[in-house]
Structure formats: C-alpha cells, structure tokens
Structure 1
C-alpha cells in the first residue's frame, strides 16, 4: 500500500532582501510568525510563517542568491496560490498598498476567479476565490 500525502506542510522561499520580504509576508499579507532564527554559519535568516489553514511558508536569506527566472514560463515551481474568501476585497487591499495585481481571470475548468501579483523578488503569487 502506498502512503497517502497529508497535504502541504510548507513552501520554502529564498529572498534577496530579508527585511523587505519579512515585512511583505508578515505586515502586508498578515502571516503569523512561528519562529525566526539566524544561522551565523550560513549567514542566513530562517523565518517560519503560518497560514490560516496551518500550512507554512519558510522564508530564507542567503548572501547573494542567484535570480530565478519566472518568465517566460520557466521550468520548476510556477507559482504559489492562496485561497481567499473574497477576491475583490483582497485585490482592493493589495492595490491600496501599492501592489500591482493582474486582471482577474476565470478558471476554465472550475469557473472560479483568480489573479496574480508578485512578492518583492518577483515570485508569482496567485489569489484563488474559494
């Protein structure tokens, strides 16, 4: 018998500017800090953040990380999607805070509305209407 996966525990993100990304994910997106640790041997911060459903984001800093291409559609992780109860309200919130949001699209298979925006390093983030 194959063991079943229980869901996503965390997604790890490496940022270029730790204070800027920490503020983006905690202050703007409102993620709760679980733990924050500095690892001097790696010159690296590790910030554990919790989403409402219990899943986590790990935010890392490293000295001089190489840029990761995201456009055109690069191989690898395409984007990170978040469920939202009210897409229009969240878009208004992001826009009021100076975050550019793409036009809303409709998922051709589910009929649900979604849109994209970017974190401070250009990582594509999606908002998906519940």
Structure 2
C-alpha cells in the first residue's frame, strides 16, 4: 500500500494573474518561493509557501474556463488553512476589504471556522488550530 506523508501543494488556475498574485502574497501574506513565466504556454507559475511543508502553485493560462461552484460541482470543494485565531484572522481580512462569512463551530470537533473567497470565487476556509 502507498504511504502518503503529507500534502505537498495545491494548484490553482486564476483568471487574472496579477490580482491573484496580490491576493495570495499580499493579503494572505504567503511568501513567494519562485515565479516562472513559461513562454511556450503563455503562462505564469507562482510558488507560494503555506508553511515549511506545503505550497500553493498559482497558474495563469490564456482564457481558462470558469469554475462551476453553484450548485456545488464535483471536484475540490474548498481549500482550508489552519489559523491560531479564526476571529482575529476574520478581522484582518475584513480590514483589507475581503468579505468573510460569520464564524461557525464545527459540530464534530468543536473548532471554529469560516469561509471567504479568492478573486475568482474559489472558496477558502479558515479553521481553528
């Protein structure tokens, strides 16, 4: 049996590279590891560190199709980030003009969580450590 050790990265295709680069690196504060322009694909790839073990790969492609999200479609539902304080993180995002849903409590774990969206409407979650 294969033994998975961790999630290495999550890949996201965005509609507006500069807007999404700003969102993930400036608003969410993820450090940039590397930025590559691939001329043969007319595509950028931006590697962002979530922590020492996990990354987000942000891609741009010419005219990518929109992601169906409502009603919820098959596939990745959302991306969740662990934070020390959901309440403090919600306030910080709202100060930067990012709408954030009301904080809820996970009925199975008792942990707080909330959702917000990236510039393309990808659902992102903040989950209490």
Interval of TM-score (by shorter of Structure 1 and Structure 2):
over 0.9
Displacement, 1:3? 2.5
- Cα distance in 2 for partners of 1:90, 1:82 equals 11
Q: Which residue of 2 aligns with 1:128?
A: 127
| CA RMSD, Structure 1 to Structure 2 (Å) | 0.7
Deviation at residue 52 of structure 1 after TM alignment: 2.2
What residue number does 1:106 align with?
105
Aligned residue number for residue 83 of structure 2: 84
Asked if the contact 2:34/2:46 (under 8 Å) is kept, the reply is yes
CA distance in structure 2 between the partners assigned to 1:65 and 1:22 by the alignment: 16
Secondary structure at the aligned position of 1:99 is classed as coil
* 1:44-63 superposed matches below 5 A: 44-63=43-62
TM-score (norm 2): 0.98
Given that 2:87 and 2:103 are in contact with CA atoms closer than 8 Å, whether structure 1 keeps it comes out as: no
Q: Count residues with an aligned counterpart.
A: 129
| Cα distance in structure 1, aligned partners of 2:116 and 2:109 | 21
SS of the residue aligned with 1:60?
strand
Q: What is the SS of the residue equivalent to 1:34?
A: strand
2:48/2:55 contact within 8 Å kept: yes
5+ residue gaps, structure 2, are none
State the alpha-carbon separation in 1 of the partners of residues 70 and 125 from structure 2: 15
Distance, in Å, in 1 between the alignment partners of 2:95 and 2:123 is 19
Flag as ranges the 4+ runs of structure 1 deviating above 2 A.
Answer: none
* TM alignment of 1:1-130, pairs within 5 A: 2-130=1-129
Q: Secondary structure at the match of 1:41?
A: helix
Equivalent residues of 2:114, 2:125 under 8 A apart: yes
Matched residue of 1:126: which SS?
Answer: strand
Give the TM-score of the pair, scaled to structure 1.
0.97
